[in-house]
Amino acid sequence: MDISKIKRYQIISAIFVCISGTLLHFTYKIFGENKFVASFSAVNESVWEHLKLLFFPMLLTTIIGYFYIGKSHSNFLCSKAIGIITAIFFIVVFFYTYSGIIGKSILFIDIASFFTAVILGEYLSFKLMTNNLQCNNIFSVCVLIILLISFISFTYFTPRLELFKDPVTGKYGIIKK
């Protein structure tokens, strides 16, 4: 096992996720509210839509990484899936905890929590890969596919739950002008 190769991949992945996730916040508007772009970009200011900014770049680096190092590490997919789920969980729990305590959200804290979640998810993936976690890759792929389908479908068919509610407009999903 080449730990330096895994470390290098995870660092590049974290940098890519931070940059592309930040850009995905704006792509829906930049591309004229394109329905395809809406699938993987934030279409409103809800927590759910902001999770897409983390999920899609991490999924992309997982797919690319599978061909770079994943084939030689039997626990790659499981490690990456756990890292993604951990990062998503961190954002949700952190956001609702701190905003619940102080009664409002603060943009700087939200941005910092995004970067923290990315680093946490990538670091955990690294630790799991290098500690030879034994897991079921088919289950991991199924979890990632379920998340993928959920993120895309809930953009267009949005549940009426707080997680999906835009705090600015009070609306859900794609907001029509």
Look over the chain and give the mean of its residue pLDDT values, rounded to a whole number. 93
The answer to the question of residue 131 being in a domain is: yes
pLDDT band at 54 (very low <50, low <70, confident <90, very high): very high
Q: Which residue has the tokens 């930040």?
A: 22
User: Is residue 176 scored above 80 in pLDDT?
Assistant: no
Residue 90 belongs to a domain: yes
Least confident of 2-6, 13-17, 122-126: 2-6
**106 torsion bin: left (phi>0), alpha (psi -120 to 50), beta (else):** beta
User: Is residue 171 one of the residues assigned to a domain?
Assistant: no
Q: Look at 74 and 95; give whichever has higher pLDDT.
A: 95
What's the predicted TM-score (pTM) here?
A: 0.93
Place of tokens 């990062």: 87
pLDDT at 1: 58
Count the domains in the chain: 1
Structural domain contains residue 127: yes
The parent domain of residue 74 ranges over 3-164
* Within a domain: 174: no
Looking at residue 64, its pLDDT comes to 95
**Domain membership flag for residue 172:** no
Assess whether pLDDT exceeds 80 at residue 133: no
